[in-house]
């Protein structure tokens, strides 16, 4: 595993935290798509700029890129050798989103772009709740297509906090 995509079913599933811990274990730089996408003051980057930032990273020999962003999925998938998909129950994701907001309110998280202070909007929570099941189904289809790209591609699905911890604790031990 040298070029790793970390995807998740929803916000709050733990993509950023997992990617950071994995990067520390493997000594590979971690890139957060939210940092590429969000300009200061929560302004959206153009698709052109967002894509260019990703293309620059995927040309490197090693990387971990976390985030979903379906419109640019192929940029990462083409060069990735591994996808790690996190799927936790909806209620855990919602709890974590609220906890993250409470913990970081008024400041900018390390996985966000500069000048993007943590915020919470009802529309964001509604989006998580109303799209969770469909995203779960769509992700399975996407993961199957990734495996069909080539045999050298690896998909790892972690569906519980215990599975995630076990993977991080034991996947790289001698």
Is the pLDDT assigned to residue 156 strictly greater than 60? yes
pLDDT of residue 173: 56
pLDDT of residue 118: 92
Is the pLDDT assigned to residue 32 strictly greater than 90? yes
Question: What are the C-alpha distances in Å from 127 to residues 9, 37, 77?
Answer: 12, 18, 25
Inter-helix orientation angle 15-26/161-170, to 10°: 10
Q: pLDDT for 93-114, tens place per residue? A: 999 999 999 999 989 998 998 8
- Could you tell me the sign of the dihedral formed by the alpha carbons of 71, 58, 109, 88, in that order? positive
For residues 57 and 65, the answer to whether their CB atoms sit within 8 Å is: yes
Mean pLDDT of 16-45: 96
pTM: 0.92
């Amino acid at each position: 595993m040298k070029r790793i995509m970390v995807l998740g079913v929803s916000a709050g599933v733990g993509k950023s935290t997992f990617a950071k811990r994995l990067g520390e274990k493997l000594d590979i730089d971690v890139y957060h798509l939210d940092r590429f996408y969000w300009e200061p003051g929560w302004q959206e980057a153009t698709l052109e700029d967002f894509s260019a930032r990703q293309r620059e990273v995927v040309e490197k020999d090693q990387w971990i890129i976390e985030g979903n962003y379906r419109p640019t999925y192929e940029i990462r998938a083409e060069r990735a050798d591994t996808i790690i998909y996190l799927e936790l129950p909806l209620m855990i994701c919602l709890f974590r989103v609220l906890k993250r907001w409470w913990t970081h309110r008024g400041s900018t998280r390390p996985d966000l772009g500069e000048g993007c202070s943590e915020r919470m909007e009802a529309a964001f929570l509604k989006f998580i709740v109303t799209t969770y099941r469909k995203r779960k189904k769509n992700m399975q289809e996407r993961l199957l297509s990734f495996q069909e790209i080539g045999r050298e591609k690896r998909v790892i699905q972690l569906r519980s906090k215990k599975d995630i911890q076990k993977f991080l604790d034991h996947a790289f031990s001698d």
